[in-house]
Amino acid sequence: MSDERYGTTHIHARPGDFGKVVLMPGDPLRSKFIAETYLESPRLVNTVRGVNGYTGIYHGETVSVMASGMGIPSIGIYSYELYHCYGVEAILRVGSIGALQEKVRLMDLLLGMGASTDSAYAEQFRFPGQLAPLADFGLLELAVEICREKKARFHVGNLFSSDSFYSDHPDVNIRCRDMGILGVEMEAAGLYLNAARAGKKALAICTVSDQLFRHESLTPQERQTGFADMIEVALETAVRYLRQEREA
């Protein structure tokens, strides 16, 4: 904990500043874009290290958005503090991903039912075997329902959360593809592991920014602001989850 009257080491916000559901893009500029574009009356609740967090209203429900930074260590820190110190119940990762399967195209949505990884992050939990990091089925079910309603192109399956953006193993993508992995990113497995340990909920909803075997990529501007389907699916998932919980 920090030495301040409130806050944690990495989040300087008051109790109650975050909603029960938080969207987590990797990029702080994307969190700013989501808050200012989609939320009513967005309020800046955290500015530590430039990882800005916002809380506002979407379709009548309180929803927050805060960047996770890049990689499992970074999302591991922020998701831990949100789950354990701020009463957050569900985190929806929204970010870019590189596609590995031929059927997956640029701008498709990938919903991570599971997240394999080369990270040693899970070793801290001393699980007697290889722990499979999984999404929350209820969130996944809602997201699939919304994707179908929106007629969005989407795929559900296993993601690969890599600790290396630049890998020294030239065949890593081939090996992942051959095991049916839909795409490679850098955060989902850490988020899923933290959610499991905290007894909370998590789901990664990613937009394909690169088709790794066809060498196709979105522009930097498209990566920053062109992910409307992903953001809208995540926000609607948050709203329906919150209403379900209230009615339960």
Residues with a catalytic annotation lie at 210
CB of 23 within 8 A of CB of 34? yes
Pairing of strands 61-66, 21-24: parallel
Cα separation, 51 vs 48, in Å, equals 6
Tokens 């066809």 — which residue? 214
> Which of 59, 79, 62 shows the shortest CA–CA distance to 121?
79
CA distance 246 to 148: 24
The per-residue DSSP string of 138-196 comes to HHHHHHHHHHHHHT--EEEEEEEE-S-SS-S-TTHHHHHHHTT--EEESSHHHHHHHHH
Residue 65 identity (one-letter amino acid): V
Q: Are 224 and 209 spatial neighbours (Cβ–Cβ below 8 Å)?
A: no
What is the total residue count of the chain? 248
Helix (H, G, I), strand (E, B) or coil at 68: coil
Q: What whole-number distance in Å separates Cα of residue 158 and Cα of residue 41? A: 36
CA 207 – CA 226 distance, rounded (Å): 9
